[in-house]
Chain A
Amino acid sequence: MILWRAGLRYLLRHPLQLLFAVIGVALGVGVVVAIDLANSSANKAFSLSAEAVSGRTSHQVIGGPAGVPEEIYRRIRLAPILFDSAPVIEGLATVTHKPGLTLRILGLDPFAEGPFRDYSPGIGRDSEFSRLLTEPGSIMLSAATAGELELRPDMQMTLQIGGKQRSVTLVGLLEAPDQLSSQALRNLIITDIATAQELLEQFGRLTRIDLILPTGAAEDRALQQLQPYLQPGVDVVRADQRRQSMAQMTRAFQLNLSALSMLALVVGMFLIYNTMTFSVVQRRPLLGALRTLGVTRHEIVRLVLVEALLVGAAGTLLGLLLGVLLANGLLTLVTRTINDLYFVLNVRSLSLTPLALAKGLLLGLGATLVAALVPALEAGRTAPRSVLSRSHIEGRGRRLLPWAVAVGSGLMVLSLIGLLLPGNSIVVGFICMFMLISGYALITPGLAIWLLKGLQAPLKTCFGLLGKMAVRNLVAGLSRTGVATAALVIAVAATIGVGLMISSFRVTVDNWLHSYLSADIYITTQGDDFDAGRVPLEPELLARLDQVAGIDSITRARHLRLEDAHGISELFVAEIPEESFAGYWFVDGDRQQIYREFKNSRAVIVSEPFAYRRDLKRGDVLPLRTQLGEQEFRIAGVFTDYGSDQGRITIARSLYQQYWSAPQTDALGIYLQDTAETEQLVRQLRNLAADIQPLMVYSNRDLRAASLATFDRTFAVTSVLRILAVLVAFVGILNALMAMQIERSRELAVLRAGGLTPQQLWLLVTGETGLIGLLAGLLALPLGIAQALMLILVINRRSFGWSMGIQLDPSILFQALLLALIAAVLAGLYPAWRMAQTQPAQALRDE
C-alpha cells in the first residue's frame, strides 16, 4: 500500500494543517452531539417523569383552572361501570434543607392505585400503607431520593409549598420494580390523597382522575357511559395526547438548538472542505506525477477520500468526547430554560444513548465525506502532466467563477422564494437558511475579487509595492483564497446572525417590559407563575393594604392554567385599568376599542404565541371550558407577550367571575401616589406581609431586571452555542490562512533571496492574511444580517410565535469584524516568523 503511505505521510508532514482540520471537525461534531445529548436527556427525563405520574392510565378526567371536584370521582367510583379509575393530586414542593431541588407531590388513593402504577403502595403490599392513610403528613420516597435528602424512615423534613412551610414524615421507601421505574421515581413524593390535598390546600378538589378504558370500539362506549357522571367544565382526554402536547411544548425550542448546533457543523464542514481542497491544490504536481505513473482517477479520488475520512474519524472521535463533556454543561442550561419557559423538569444525569453517539459518528464521518467529495473529484480530474502550471489552475478557477456566482445567486433566490411561500414549517425555514448560506458561500469568491481589485490602488498608495503585491497575490491565488474566504465568511456570519438575533430580542423584551409593566410595585405569592396550586393571597393582607399611605390604587390578578385538547394555556384573570391597558402592544386593531370590548363584552385578549399556535386572529371566537360548560369568547385583540411561548389568555376579572367562580388573588399591581417613595414602600409592604405569608415584592425596576435576568438565563444556551461557533470560526480562519502561507514558503524564500527583509516579509504575510480577514469580516456582515433577519422574522416566529423588532447592534458587527481580523493576523504571524527565521536557501531546498 505504497500509494496510501504517500497520502498519509503528506498529512503527517503538515501537522498544523492536520491538527486544525481535526479540531474543526471535533468542534462541529462536539457541539451537535452535546446538544443532541442534552436534548435527549431532557426528553428522556420528561418521558420518565410523565410515565411515572401517569402509569398505565389511558384517559384522564380534567377540569378547569381549579381542577376536578372530588365529588365527580365519588360518582364515577360508585357508578356501575366496569373500568378502573384513580384520583390524582399533583403539585410541586421545594425542600428547605436542599435549596434548588424541586420535588413533585403525587397524591394517590392506595385503594384505587393497584392497576395504575407499579410502584405505588397498594393494599397488602406495603406495611406502610396504613400509616400513609392514617397519619397526617406521611409520605413515601424512593430509596435514591431519600438517600439524596439524607432521610431514613420515620424522619421528618420541611417542605416549602406555595410559600408555606409544611412538615412531613417519611414512613417508608418505595420499591421500584425495575431500573426504569427507579429513575422515574426520582424526585417524586408519593402520599395519600388527603395528605396531598392538605399540603397543596386543594380541599375537595383533584388535579385529575386517571382512567383505564378499553381500546377500540369499546372506548367510545366507555366514554359515553362516563358522560352522565361528569359536569360542565370537566372533560375526558386521552393520556397520551396530553403527554404529547406537553412534549410538544419544548419541541420548537429543542429544534432551534439542534439547528444552531448544525450551524457549527456546517462551519466545521467548510473547514474540512477548505483543508481538503487546499491539500489537493497544494499537491497538484504530486498528483499529476502519480497519474503519469499510471495511478487512475478512481485511485486518486479514493486516496483523497480516505485521507479525509482519517481526518474525519480522528475529529469525530475527539468530537464525541468533547460532546459528552460539553453536554454535561449544556444539560444544566437546557433544563433551566425548560424550567423557566415550560414545566418543572429534573434531569440529574446525562443519558448516553448509543444512538446519540452513533448519530454523532455518522454525522461527523458523513459531513467529512460530503465536504471532501468535491476536492476529491477535483483531484481525480488532475491532468497527468508533470507539472500543471498555476496559471492553468487559476484560469480554470476563474472560468468557474461566473458559474459559482450564478448557482449561488440561484440558491439565494430559491431561499427567498421558499420563505415567501405560505406555510409555517420550521424545518422549511431552516432549509431556506442553509440554502442562503450555501448560495452566499458560492458568490463569495466573486465578491472577494471585486473588493480586492478596488483595494489595489489605495493599498499601493499606503504601503507601496508591497501593498499592491499583497492584493495581487490574493487575487491571483483564487483557488486558494476563494474557498478560505468563503469558509471564513460562513463562520463569522453565523456569529453575527445569532448575536443580532439575541440582542434584537433582548432590546424588544426590554422595551416591552417598560411598556407592559405599568404599576409601581408588584406583589405575588411564591411559586411558578402558572403552575397549578399557586397559593392565593391571604384576605387579611388585602385588608391591611388598604391602610397603607401613599397607595393610589391596586389591581388584582390571578394566574391559572387551562387545559384542553390543544394543550396547556395560561389564563390570566386580571383587573386592568385603562392606563395599564395602554401599556399592551396589540398586533392590530384600535386599542381603545379593544379595551371597550374586553371590559364590557364576552371577550378576551390573547397573546401572540397563543394566536399563532391556534391560528386565531382578532375577531375570532375562542371556545373555553367554563363551569357553565363550553362557552365561546370573542378575541378582542392579540397582544405581544414574551412572558411565555405557550400562549396566554387574559380575561377580565368580572367576566371570569360570571363563568367560573369568584377568583382568588395571587398577584397585585400597586400604583403609588406621586409623592410616595417606591423603595421605602417596598420595604414597608415586605414588613407588612412578614407575619402573614411569604411574598415576593418587587419594584417596577426590580421586576424588569429580574425578567431580563430570566431572559438572559433562557438564552444562555444560545449564547454558549454562539461562542462555540466563534471558536470554530477562529480555528477555521487560523487553519485556512496558516496553511495558505506555509504553502507559499518557496515563493517567500524567493522573495527573501531577492532582497526582501524579514520585516518586509512580516508585513507582506500578515498584510495578506489581515486583508483576507478584513474581507471575510466585511463580506460576513450582509450574510450575518440576513441570517439574523431570517432567525427573527421566520425561525422565531414559526417556532414560538414571537414577533420582535430588529436591532442592528453595531457592537456585534464590530466584534465580528474584529474576530475575523485578529484571527487572520494571528494566522499570519507563525508563517511570517517561520520564514523570517529560515534561511532562504534552506526553504528553497526543502521545497
Chain B
Amino acid sequence: MSDSLVRIDNLSKSFREGEAVRYIFHDLNAAIAPGEFVVLLGRSGSGKSTLLNLLSGIDQPDRGTVMIAGQNFTTLSERQRTLFRRRHIGFIFQFYNLIPTLTVLENLLLPLELIGTSDSVARQQAQALLDEVGLADRADSYPDRLSGGEQQRVAVARALIHRPRLLLADEPTGNLDAETGQQVLNLFTGLAQQYNMTTLMVTHSLEVARLADRILTIRDGQLFEDTDMENRR
C-alpha cells in the first residue's frame, strides 16, 4: 500500500439538505497503484462523483484522509490544493465542460499556461495532441460548433495535455452514443496507457468496466472491490 499513488483512509462525507443531514459514505478505505486503471461503479446518488471531487481536492471530507502521490490533501490549504490539482490531476466530465469562449486549441493551452509552460512549447504539445485525437483541423473552432463526440475528445485531450499523474473521469461516455462512446473510450484508455497515468473512472457501463484493472463499487456508503474480474471479462 505504501507505493500506491492514491490512498484514502476512513473517508466520510455528508451533505446538509435543509435541516436534515444525508450521509454519502462512511469510513471508506482504498488504494490505487501508479499506472492502474480503476473503474468505480455504483447507483445514481451513491456518492461516486462526490468521491472524485474529494480525490481532486475540490471538496473536503467530513473525516478521514486523502493521500495523492504522498501528499495529504486534507492538510493542504484551498490554494495549495488548487496548485496541486492544476499540475497533477486531469479531469474529464460527462458534459465536457469546455470553456465556450475559448477555441479548441486555447482550451488545450489553458492547463499548460496555468502550470507555466512556455507558449511555443505549449502550442507544439497542443497541436500534437489534437492531431492524436483527430481534431487538428478544428483547432480554431469554438466548442459549440463541435459534435458531442468531438467535444469529449477535446475534453480528453485537455485532461491529458499537462501529463497529470492522476486522471479522474466522471462518466466520460455517458452522454455519447455507443459507437462514439467506444471511440472516445479507446482514445482515453490508449492515451492513459501511453502516458502511464493512473486512472479512476466513474461509469455505469459494464462494457467499460471490463477494460479496467480493478473495479470498485460504492454501495450503501461502503466501498467494495469486485474480485470476480475473470467472469466479467
Contact = CB atoms under 8 A, between A and B. Distances in A.
Interface of A: 1-3, 5-10, 13, 285-286, 288-298, 383-387, 845-846
Contacts, number: 83
Contacts of B61: none
B56 interface: yes
7 contacts: A2-B102, A5-B101, A286-B99, A290-B99, A295-B86, A384-B82, A846-B144
Given A3-B113, A9-B101, A294-B111, A845 B58 contact: no
Contacts of B49: 386
A846 B145 CA distance: 9
Given A297-B78, A297-B79, A13 B101 contact: yes
Interface residues of B, number: 33
Contacts of B95: 386-387
Contacts of B59: 383, 385
B85 A5 contact: no
Given A292-B91, A293-B111, A846-B144, 10 more contacts: A2-B106, A6-B110, A13-B101, A286-B99, A289-B97, A290-B99, A292-B56, A294-B86, A387-B97, A845-B144
B171 to A, nearest CB: 10
B19 to A, nearest CB: 13
Contacts of B58: 291-292, 383-385
Contacts of B98: 289
Nearest to B101: A9
B106 A295 contact: no
Contact of B110 (A3, A288, A383): A3
B36 interface: no
Interface in B10-62: 49, 53, 56, 58-59
A2 B79 contact: no
A47 B89 CA distance: 69
Nearest to B84: A294
A291 B101 contact: no
A614 B109 CA distance: 72
Interface of B: 49, 53, 56, 58-59, 78-79, 82-83, 85-87, 89, 91, 93-95, 97-102, 106, 109-111, 113-115, 144, 158, 170
Contacts of A385: 53, 58-59
Contacts of B87: 294
A668 to B, nearest CB: 78
B99 A294 contact: no
Contacts of A13: 101
A10 B101 contact: yes
B200 to A, nearest CB: 15
Given A285-B97, A286-B100, A5 B82 contact: no
Q: Which of B87, B106, B109 has the most CB of A within 10 A?
A: B106
B113 A296 contact: no
Q: Which of B59, B78, B89, B110 has the most CB of A within 10 A?
A: B110
Q: What 5 A-B pairs come out closest when comparing CB atoms?
A: A294-B86, A9-B101, A384-B58, A289-B97, A2-B110
Contacts of A298: 79
B79 A296 contact: yes
Contacts of A386: 49, 91, 93-95, 97, 170
Nearest to A12: B101
Contact of B85 (A3, A289, A294, A387): A294
Contact of A2 (B53, B56, B78, B113): B113
Contacts of B170: 386
Nearest to B50: A385
B97 A292 contact: yes
Contact of A291 (B82, B100, B109): B82
B44 to A, nearest CB: 14
B13 to A, nearest CB: 13
B90 to A, nearest CB: 9
Contacts of A1: 113
A384 B93 CA distance: 13
Given A10-B101, A290-B99, A296 B83 contact: yes
Nearest to B85: A294
A644 to B, nearest CB: 61
Contacts of A9: 101-102
